[in-house]
Chains A and B, each alone.
Chain A
Amino acid sequence: MLKLIGSRLATAVPSLIGVVIVTFLLTRVLPGDTAAYFAGPAATPQAIAEIRTKLGLDKPLPAQFLDYVTALAKGDLGSSLSTGQPVATEIRNRLPASAELTLAGLILALLIAIPYGIAAAVKQGTWVDHSCRILTTAGVSLPVFFTGLLLVYVFYFKLGWAPAPLGRLDAFASPPPEVTGFYLIDSLIAGDFETFRASAAQLVIPAVTLAIFALAPIARMTRASMLAVLSSEFVRTARAAGLTPYKVIIVYAFRNAMLPVITTLGMVFSFLLGANVLVEKVFAWPGIGSYAVEALITSDFAPVQGFVLAMAVLYIVLNLLIDIAYGVIDPRARSEA
């Protein structure tokens, strides 16, 4: 097992290097004056020249790259123009908000999609199956920001069940003392059920929005791989040996069917992290996505670069976890390591 983790870590290294190079290239090599990007649209020529020297843009490219990597190693992602705050600090402060939202959405999606996909495959050709096919195709066609707005309209404006879509807590409540940064968990630790209820209420609609988006590919893959496994020869052997449908479906089919689903999760994470940006904008969620969007509007490049890098690193880590989970289930992956 340790060997597996080691070998997967080793494969993550090239990705990490690639990501650092790309985020560097995005700012330095592309046409246009990098200093002007960093200085923002309203900067004077002197200001631009000043920034050029400050950022070391007058040095040769390899030296610049070295500077960039050295700064990264120290955790320095530069500073925001508009706020003057270091980007790294800002991202660190906002990350829990994004993570709480994304995780809530993912867990919700998994809880619904996997049983649904299994049911559709086991009851192939019935209404469960047909509804699964229709909903998954419709689900991947939904623009996530549009779903969010629809839910806001229905649950906030029409029914009044949900609070206003303005962040993690309403303006009058105060956040719980920080432990994990997840309001749901922190409020429970503090024993503050009022805050727990309030933050849960704020979280539900955005999390559902994300879940609807992530649900479709997971359910679709679960159904497809369950169908493939159920018609495989080893399931036929298990049936010919008289094992109960429960044993056949759960012990023989399900675990095998989960392998492609776990692989798909990588893609789902990619979608989720992207969708997260849009959902944060719709719900004014104070995460790193809305931080990046605000910076984009003011052409403040350092936060955008920091955000892209942070998301990519997060994504690499998630993929690493997926690979390890895969290895836990599949002995073949373990032995390759």
Chain B
Amino acid sequence: MTLANPADAPRPASGLAATLRHAHYVISDNPVTGLAFGMFLILVVSALIGPFVVPYDPLASNTAMALSPPSTAHWFGTDQLGRDIFSRVIVATGLDMGIAICSVALVFAAGGIAGIASGFFGGWTDRIIGRISDTIMAFPLFVLAMGIVAALGNTVTNIVIATAIINFPLYVRVARSEAAIRRQAGFVQAARLTGNGEWRILLTQILPNIMPIMMVQMSLTMGYAILNAAGLSFIGLGVRPPTPEWGIMVAEGATYIISGEWWIALFPGLALMFAVFCFNLLGDGLRDIVDPQRRT
């Protein structure tokens, strides 16, 4: 259907207003997306303000209170050293989100550019970038992340790098296919005719049209990045105790689960789920906004 009925075509509005209205439509049509935005706000608030308002020092141990179940004094109970789990869960938000955001930003820049160049220029650029991402894809991704952190050294920075590397092929693939579709599109050819060089076309014609789908990809991989980082610290890589971090806290609670002290692992685990669920919902919601056709 290339010819819209003129009767329903006119929808005069600036781009921003139209996008906002569409966003409003999507949220009211799909309250789940609204919920996701709410969850996102909670995460942001606890990451930014949490450390200043939590009731206890997340590192202060109190052996007298060790392993006490949730109570009014300790909402989420205390761990084996008597530390307040609620305070630790809130404070950990910043670190977990920080790792995920840094790695996603890194891979967005590297993978996005590599993918667009690969799809747009084709040829050797495409072959080399394709070979690199195929090689990464030949590993089970979490296993490769383990190998990288083990080899590079056991630090938070390396967790960020490893998470970025394993997400690289996903970004390349999305950016590449979106760029390749548009490489010979009429409007790109038209831009060539009006004297735009290839790089200029890449930046002014291709990139802005790919951004929305890349944003969706970012949101979807945020959840995966959080899971991955937490998984690595669960097996003892990256973040070290006593730093509050959800993965480690679950690992610490694992020992006590079989003796019935469920709260140590439960609350950080739920926080982890909450964050990942939020980004997955958000990603689906964003996809509905930028690309109503691809709704599933």
Contacts and interface: CB of A to CB of B under 8 A. Distances in A.
Determine direct contact between A and B, CB below 8 Å: yes
Nearest to A216: B280
Interface residues of A, number: 60
Nearest to A313: B138
B107 interface: no
A145 B231 contact: yes
A131 B258 CA distance: 31
Interface string B256-275: 01111010011001001100
A243 interface: no
Interface in A146-165: 146, 149-150, 152-153, 156-157, 164-165
Contacts, number: 154
Given A137-B280, A164-B258, A274 B143 contact: yes
Contacts of A212: none
A270 interface: yes
A13 to B, nearest CB: 11
B296 A278 contact: no
B152 to A, nearest CB: 6
B236 A146 contact: no
B143 A15 contact: no
Interface in B97-135: 131, 134-135
A172 to B, nearest CB: 18
Q: For chain A, what secondary structure do more than half of its interface residues adopt (helix, strand, loop), or is it mixed?
A: helix
A28 to B, nearest CB: 9
Contacts of A137: 277, 280-281, 284
B292 interface: no
Contacts of A274: 140-143, 145, 231
A304 B135 contact: no
Given A140-B223, A224-B296, A308-B146, A270 B273 contact: no
A227 interface: yes
A321 to B, nearest CB: 15
A16 B143 CA distance: 16
A149 B140 CA distance: 23
Given A137-B281, A149-B265, A308-B144, A26 B151 contact: yes
B258 A157 contact: yes
Contacts of B147: 23, 26, 304-305, 308
B227 interface: yes
Contact of A18 (B131, B141, B258, B280): B131
B254 A30 contact: no
Interface string A111-138: 0000000000000000000000000011
20 contacts: A21-B135, A137-B284, A145-B250, A145-B251, A146-B273, A156-B258, A270-B140, A273-B140, A274-B145, A277-B146, A278-B231, A296-B236, A297-B236, A304-B147, A304-B150, A307-B143, A308-B146, A311-B143, A312-B138, A315-B138
Q: Identify the 8 closest CB pairs spanning chains A and B, nearest first.
A: A274-B142, A18-B135, A273-B140, A146-B269, A141-B277, A308-B147, A15-B138, A141-B276
Given A149-B257, A308-B147, 14 more contacts: A16-B138, A137-B281, A143-B227, A143-B269, A145-B231, A146-B273, A223-B296, A269-B140, A270-B139, A270-B140, A278-B234, A297-B236, A308-B143, A311-B139
Interface of A: 14-16, 18-19, 21-23, 26-27, 30-32, 37, 137-138, 140-146, 149-150, 152-153, 156-157, 164-165, 220, 223-224, 227, 269-275, 277-278, 281-282, 292-293, 296-297, 301, 304-305, 307-308, 311-312, 315-316, 319
